[in-house]
Structure 1
Amino acid sequence: MTTTTRRRLAATTAVLALAATLTACSNADEPASESPAAQESASSEETGEATEHNAADVEFAQMMIVHHQGALEMAELAVERASADEVRTLAERIAAAQGPEIELMSSWLVTWDEELAADAEHGGMDHGGMDMDGMDQGEAMAALSELEGVEFDRKFLELMVAHHRGATEMAQTQLAEGADPDALALARSIRDDQNAEITEMENLLRNL
């Protein structure tokens, strides 16, 4: 090996050693790269996303429980008395949906250490549309109990349309004022589902 070749090899070795040293220093100074999941978690902690309930959440759950109980009472009577299969099927669907929602909202109130339901007598049954065509829950049930056949079907649908409109108003208020993510999601579901059922009931009324 010539002297020139030895000098070139020595120079190349030195350059490679220097590069390795610089790379090691650079890696030591830079923090390790985080996974997307870790970055998202850190981002959530920094933004401090709200997860606690507020007074609007409590009122929504308390009043919607009372409201749903009224709908269940009407729906169960319709399952027994409705003359049209479509009306009976609708009543069964309303009862099947609102029963579990009552249980869900009740569980929230227990978790929040709040009263399970607002006082129906003093809290105002007209709240959130509990007034149905000028009648409260008791008057509506009394009126339905006196009817049979198509007359019952029509009155049930008319009262339930008014009842649903009250629920959608309550849900809209919750969406504007609430804070709990689960309560907001339920309010959105109630608004969308009951608006669809209002359209369905109005179509049934036109065909009775």
Structure 2
Amino acid sequence: MLPTLTRGRRIAAAASSLTLAATLLGGATAPVFAHGEATPVSSHSQAEMLQPDPTSPTAYEFGETLATLEGEELEITFLAEISPHHRAAIEMSQLELERGVSPDIRTHAENIIANQEHQIDQFTRWLEEWYGLTPEEAMAQAPAEAQEEMKILEEETQMMIEELSAVEAGEDFDVAFVQKMIPHHQSGIIEFLEPQSRAVHPQLRVAATAGITTQQAQVADFRTWLAGRG
């Protein structure tokens, strides 16, 4: 049982994390994440089609969990999750380069691949240098609650990739990619919040800040592009 003061501080940290996440994501709250079969893009009305997909509530829950962790446990848990999260963004971006036609969105996809491959290499190296762990070993050491949330996030991400893979090449693919990359980036921003402010290693705090800045800028560009499609 945590001492009352420590537990209170952790609860306050979780609340602060979610408040900051809502601010960074434009005041968004966690909507219900739609499970089940994907609806083809062509069947949406124009107004619906131009909205991004919702951000997973599990991403907010994982952010709450990170806010209760400290020191080594915080860093290991974050580093266990961020690499597969980035790999999914890279996979979606590679699909955009194969099927998308918008020069602007394709350029964003190229940048996502370059930036997130760099961070994966960086984070994997730090895990080994600091803790002697691979990302898989780090995940096995994460708290049980975090492991369950990471499992759900992985399942939801795979569903997102499968839905995107079912979209044919052309302008519709650009739209579908943007609709899915916005919430994916928003999840990443939530994950970066705690290490940005409380990571033990200063280089991880710097990397988390860079991750937030880059993904915020891309989300803003994606939203502007999507709005221009109306």
**Residues 129 and 167 of structure 1 are in contact (CA less than 8 Å); yes or no, is this contact kept in structure 2?**
no
Name 2:199's counterpart in structure 1.
178
**Residues 129 and 163 of structure 1 are in contact (CA less than 8 Å); yes or no, is this contact kept in structure 2?**
no
TM-score (norm 2): 0.60
Whole-angstrom CA distance in 2 between matches of 1:194 and 1:128: 23
Name 1:123's counterpart in structure 2.
147
Whole-angstrom CA distance in 2 between matches of 1:154 and 1:101: 26
Distance apart, 1:155 and its partner CA: 1.2
Whole-angstrom CA distance in 2 between matches of 1:127 and 1:182: 24
SS in 2 for 1:114: coil
Aligned pair partner of 1:142 in 156, 162, 182 = 162
Distance apart, 1:89 and its partner CA: 1.0
Name 1:70's counterpart in structure 2.
88
Q: CA RMSD in A?
A: 2.2
Q: What amino acid does structure 2 have at the position aligned with 1:72? A: I
Whole-angstrom CA distance in 1 between matches of 2:200 and 2:213: 19
SS in 1 for 2:135: coil
When structure 1 is superposed on structure 2, of 135-144 and 75-84 the one drifting more is 135-144
Matches within 5 A, 1:14-163: 54-111=72-129, 112-117=131-136, 118=139, 123-124=147-148, 127=150, 130=153, 136-148=156-168, 149-163=170-184
**Residues 198 and 205 of structure 2 are in contact (CA less than 8 Å); yes or no, is this contact kept in structure 1?**
no
Name 1:165's counterpart in structure 2.
186
Whole-angstrom CA distance in 2 between matches of 1:83 and 1:92: 13
Name 1:11's counterpart in structure 2.
none
Distance apart, 1:114 and its partner CA: 2.1
Task: Sort the Cα spacing of 1:128 and 1:155 in 2 relative to 1 into closer, same or farther, 3 A.
Answer: farther
Q: Which has the larger radius of gyration?
A: 1
CA-to-aligned-CA distance 1:69-118 (integer Å, 9 cap, x gap): 11111111111111211111110110011001100100011112123232
Distance apart, 1:177 and its partner CA: 3.3
SS in 2 for 1:54: helix
Q: Which runs of 5+ in 1 are unaligned?
A: 1-52
Whole-angstrom CA distance in 2 between matches of 1:84 and 1:169: 28
Name 2:65's counterpart in structure 1.
none
Percent identical pairs in the alignment equals 23
Aligned pair partner of 1:190 in 211, 214, 218 = 211
Q: What amino acid does structure 2 have at the position aligned with 1:83? A: V
CA-to-aligned-CA distance 1:11-56 (integer Å, 9 cap, x gap): xxxxxxxxxxxxxxxxxxxxxxxxxxxxxxxxxxxxxxxxxx6211
User: Greater relative contact order (Cα 8 A, min sep 6): structure 1 or 2?
Assistant: 2
Whole-angstrom CA distance in 1 between matches of 2:182 and 2:158: 17
